[in-house]
A and B are shown apart, each in its own frame.
Chain A
Amino acid sequence: DSGVTQTPKHLITATGQRVTLRCSPRSGDLSVYWYQQSLDQGLQFLIQYYNGEERAKGNILERFSAQQFPDLHSELNLSSLELGDSALYFCASSVEPGSHYEQYFGPGTRLTVT
């Protein structure tokens, strides 16, 4: 158990819908990262938050957004869903600086868009 929690574990929804994925980082970790794992694209970085502020963006679509709340949990919002958004979405957390940049992953949310 990494100490990172994600809910829900599975999500099935229809095209055009909007969903919210939730992540709670390990106790003491200030950084949260979101990654998408799909068969064709592999593991890709989406976005990072550090202590409530957006720090970096990767290959995140404009239909996707995220935020980190004062209690450090984070939410990833996916809207106008398409079939191609079906993937495993991971949240990871780390403590910075001085953490050797190790990231600990949650169990993931499996999103299926039908």
Chain B
Amino acid sequence: AQTVTQSQPEMSVQEAETVTLSCTYDTSENNYYLFWYKQPPSRQMILVIRQEAYKQQNATENRFSVNFQKAAKSFSLKISDSQLGDTAMYFCAFVPPGAGSYQLTFGKGTKLSVIP
């Protein structure tokens, strides 16, 4: 069974600073997709960034970037120039397309607080 582990239940960062959220996963699949979702206080789940396992280049979306280490099964999220609106729960998620269905397996989440 695939598992996703986020070892940091809570983190805080000063506004305009950089923060990195950790995620590790366990799978025997070779091809898969990884995602970071953001859940602000409104509870809406918002897709932040996506990484395909077959791509060596790390994904980047504006202030958000990932550090994908396939051999280590690690997928961390870096948020640069943190803004108050980044305050949210962040969930790492995994999809192994080869399994025949594409449901997301989520980690427990990291609660990020951006401090003014």
Contacts and interface: CB of A to CB of B under 8 A. Distances in A.
Nearest to B95: A101
Contacts of B104: 33, 35, 43, 45, 92, 103
B109 to A, nearest CB: 7
Contacts of B97: 101
Give the bracket for the number of chain B residues in contact with chain A: 20 to 34
A56 B103 contact: yes
Interface stretch (A13-21, A65-73, A104-112): A104-112
Give the bracket for the number of chain A residues in contact with chain B: 20 to 34
B101 A100 contact: no
A31 interface: yes
Contacts of B35: 102
A90 B39 CA distance: 12
Contacts, number: 60
What secondary structure prevails in chain A residues at the interface with B? strand
Interface in B14-73: 33, 35, 37, 42-47, 50, 52
Nearest to B33: A101
Interface of B: 33, 35, 37, 42-47, 50, 52, 91, 95, 97, 100-109
15 contacts: A2-B44, A43-B106, A45-B103, A55-B100, A55-B101, A56-B100, A58-B103, A100-B33, A100-B50, A103-B47, A103-B102, A104-B47, A105-B45, A108-B43, A110-B43
User: 8 tightest A-B contacts by CB?
Assistant: A56-B101, A105-B45, A45-B103, A43-B106, A101-B95, A101-B102, A101-B33, A42-B108
